[in-house]
């Protein structure tokens, strides 16, 4: 209770502070593709002053890269039996990385990269007709392993990724063929997944794929709640399921703000043993990033109470950086859409909650999470290399955290690690 009371007292005292008016300029400066020695020295000095080392590659990033490479390697070796076995075994164990990413998901992501990436590049660059030979080969493999849902997942996600590529790179005019191809890929993915029963298999990876295919189905609003509830019941530990559920309940997808609030509160009950009231917070996490009006129904005190419960249960630095970047950077400016005065007050209230995380939990900086938290200034930013994203995230984190520390006038001191 002491932590909770102190936290809310900090929020009341800090509430009303203006977000940085120069954030847009800061993001533009941080997006530079080269960095002078003078700027690097300045950033090194900020890191030292803050007492926050910048981590070149976090434990979460190392684990993700390893399992991604593992999936890719097994496909290149044509060792499909081993790949399917490992996907199913890790799924059965609900195994995840330090930051909570399901290992089965990472294996499938790496396994399909070699066929999906050429399709994405061909559509992006408009230099050639996307080839489907790779996906056709995956169909052949799947037919020889009809009872292995691990292999079926690789095929289904290959179609989902290819479908989104056709959707995302559709031209402004004459996009009908692109959208038809998008729907065709999702239809095939759906048919592939329907050969298995996620509940009977006790397979959250299958249930997650069923949710991922919803955007390509007819009338997805009729099944979005049931599909996500099944998924969360199978795997309440994985926060990405709740984050995606909340996002898909926005009006731009398959729901409305009332349904989002209702399901967020219901998720508290579904996940209380695992997250306390943190399920409410996870449900709103991505929704608040994408839609300014999603703040209208939000209970900010319950959201912050959920944060406390989350940090009581998850003390890793990936989570600390994820929330600090979200609150201090993402919420520094309105999300897309119309922001009312009520929504603005709620957003700024959450924006100030970053100080509590910095004081109590943040011990190092993970730049890629900060880069992901920044609003995109152009469509090409999605194709930035990890190196450019790292430099952008490092500069944003250090300058924003230093600015916040300066504004508190020494209101908190860093605890020893």
Convert the pLDDT of each residue in 214-234 to its tens digit.
Answer: 999 999 999 999 999 999 999
Report yes or no on 417 lying in a domain: no
The alpha carbons of the chain give a radius of gyration, in whole angstroms, of 22
Exposure class string for 19-54: b at 16+ Cβ within 10 A, else e: bbeebeebbeebbeeeeeeeeeeebeebbeebebeb
In terms of pTM, does the model score above 0.85? Answer: yes
Of 218, 247, 275, the residue at which a domain comes to its end is: 218
Task: Tell whether 344 is covered by a domain.
Answer: yes
The answer on 182 and 46 residing in a single domain is no
Q: Is residue 174, in this structure, part of any structural domain at all? A: yes
Residues 70 and 113 reside in one and the same domain: yes
187: containing domain: 59-218
Are 132 and 49 members of one domain? no
Query: Taking a C-beta distance cutoff of 8 angstroms, is the pair 206, 190 a contact?
Result: no
Can you read off the two tokens belonging to residue 262? 């209702």
Give the pLDDT score at 46.
92
Q: Which two tokens stand for residue 374?
A: 């920044």
Task: Decide if 305 contacts 11 (C-beta within 8 A).
Answer: no
Q: Are residues 157 and 49 in the same domain?
A: no
The answer as to whether 242 is a domain residue is no
* 119 is a domain residue: yes
Residues 47 and 195 in one domain: no
Cα dihedral sign, 80-82-88-94:
negative
Q: Are residues 35 and 114 in the same domain?
A: no
User: Would the pLDDT of 3 be above 50?
Assistant: no
pLDDT band at 350 (very low <50, low <70, confident <90, very high): very high
pLDDT at 150 over 80: yes
Same domain, 89 and 178: yes
- Of the listed ranges 20-29, 94-103, 118-127, 405-414, the least confidently predicted one is 405-414
Q: What average pLDDT does this structure show over 278-287? A: 98
Q: Does residue 398 have a pLDDT over 60? A: yes
Considering its fold, how many domains does the chain have in total?
A: 2
User: Is 80 exceeded by the pLDDT of residue 32?
Assistant: no
Which pLDDT value is given to residue 295?
98
Q: Residue 26 is encoded by which pair of tokens?
A: 């800061």
Q: How confident is the model over 133-147, as pLDDT tens digits?
A: 999 999 999 999 999
Residues 6+ apart with CB under 8 A from 396: 26, 27, 30, 329, 370, 371, 374
Q: What is the 3-state secondary structure of the chain?
A: CHHHHHHHHHHHHHCCCCCCCCHHHHHHHHCCCCCCHHHHHHHHHHHHHHCCCECCCCHHHHHHHHHHHHHHHHHHCCCHHHHHHHHHHHHHHCCECCCCCEHHHHHHHHHHHHHHHHHHHHHHHCCCCCCCHHHHHHHHHHHHCCCCHHHHHHHHHHHHHHHHHHHHCCCCCCCHHHHHHHHHHHHHHHHHHCCCCHHHHCCHHHHHHHHHCHHHCCCHHHCHHHHHHHHHHHCCCCHHHHHHHHHHCCCCCCCCHHHHHHHHHHHHHHHHHHHCCHHHHHHHHHHHHHCHHHHCCCCHHHHHHHHHHHHHHCCCHHHHHHHHHHHHCHHHCCCCCCCCHHHHHHHHHHHHCHHHHHHHCCCCECHHHHHHHCCCCCHHHHHCCHHHHHHHHHHHHHHHHHHHHHHCCCCCCCCCC
Among the ranges given (15-24, 133-142, 295-304, 321-330), the one the predictor scored with the smallest mean pLDDT: 15-24
Asked if residue 305 is part of any domain, the answer here is no
Q: Within this chain, do residues 17 and 103 fall inside the same structural domain, yes or no?
A: no
When comparing pLDDT for 70 and 129, which is higher? 70
Average pLDDT of the segment spanning 2-8: 44
Domain boundary among the residues 202, 218, 234 is at 218
Say if residue 4 is in the same domain as residue 139: no
**Are residues 76 and 122 both part of a single domain?**
yes
**Least confident piece of the model among 97-101, 171-175, 206-210, 387-391:** 171-175
Report yes or no on 162 lying in a domain: yes
pLDDT value at 296 more than 70: yes
Q: Where among 180, 200, 218 does a domain terminate?
A: 218
31 lies in the same domain as 77 = no
More confident residue, 392 or 24: 392
Q: Is residue 304 assigned to a domain?
A: no
Helix axes 239-248, 204-212, angle to 10 degrees: 20
Say yes or no: 45 and 67 in one domain: no
């Amino acid at each position: 209770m002491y932590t909770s009371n102190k936290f809310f007292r900090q929020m009341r005292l800090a509430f009303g502070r203006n977000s940085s008016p120069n954030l847009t300029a800061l993001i533009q400066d941080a997006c530079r593709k080269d960095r002078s020695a003078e700027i690097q020295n300045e950033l090194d000095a900020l890191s030292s002053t803050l007492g926050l080392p910048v981590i070149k590659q976090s434990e979460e990033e190392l684990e993700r890269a390893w399992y991604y490479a593992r999936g890719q390697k097994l496909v290149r070796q044509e060792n499909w039996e081993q790949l399917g076995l490992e996907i199913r075994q890790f799924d059965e164990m609900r195994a995840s990385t330090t930051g909570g990413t399901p290992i089965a998901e990472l294996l499938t992501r790496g396994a399909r990269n070699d066929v999906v990436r050429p399709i994405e590049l061909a559509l992006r660059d408009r230099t050639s007709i996307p080839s489907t030979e790779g996906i056709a080969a995956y169909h052949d493999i799947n037919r020889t392993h009809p009872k292995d849902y691990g292999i079926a997942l690789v095929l289904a996600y290959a179609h989902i990724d290819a479908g989104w590529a056709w959707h995302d790179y559709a031209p402004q005019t004459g996009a009908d063929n692109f959208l038809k191809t998008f729907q065709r890929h999702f239809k095939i993915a759906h048919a592939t997944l329907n050969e298995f029963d996620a509940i009977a298999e006790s397979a959250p990876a299958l249930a997650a794929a069923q949710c991922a295919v919803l955007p390509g189905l007819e009338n997805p609003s009729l099944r979005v709640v049931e599909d996500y509830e099944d998924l969360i019941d199978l795997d309440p530990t994985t926060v990405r399921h709740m984050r995606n559920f909340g996002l898909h309940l926005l009006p731009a997808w398959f729901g409305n703000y009332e349904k989002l609030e209702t399901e967020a509160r219901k998720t508290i009950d579904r996940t209380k043993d695992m997250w306390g009231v943190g399920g409410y917070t996870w449900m709103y996490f991505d929704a608040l990033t994408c839609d300014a009006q999603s703040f209208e129904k939000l209970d900010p005190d319950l959201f912050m109470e959920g944060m406390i419960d989350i940090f009581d249960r998850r003390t890793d630095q990936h989570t600390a950086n994820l929330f600090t970047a979200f609150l201090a950077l993402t919420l520094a400016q309105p999300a897309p859409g119309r922001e009312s005065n009520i929504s603005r007050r709620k957003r700024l209230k959450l924006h100030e909650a970053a100080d509590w995380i910095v004081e109590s939990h943040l011990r190092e900086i993970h730049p890629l999470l900060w880069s992901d938290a920044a609003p995109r200034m152009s469509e090409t930013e999605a194709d930035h290399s990890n190196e450019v994203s790292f430099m952008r995230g490092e500069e944003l984190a250090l300058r924003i955290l230093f600015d916040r520390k300066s504004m508190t006038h020494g209101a908190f001191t860093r605890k020893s690690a």
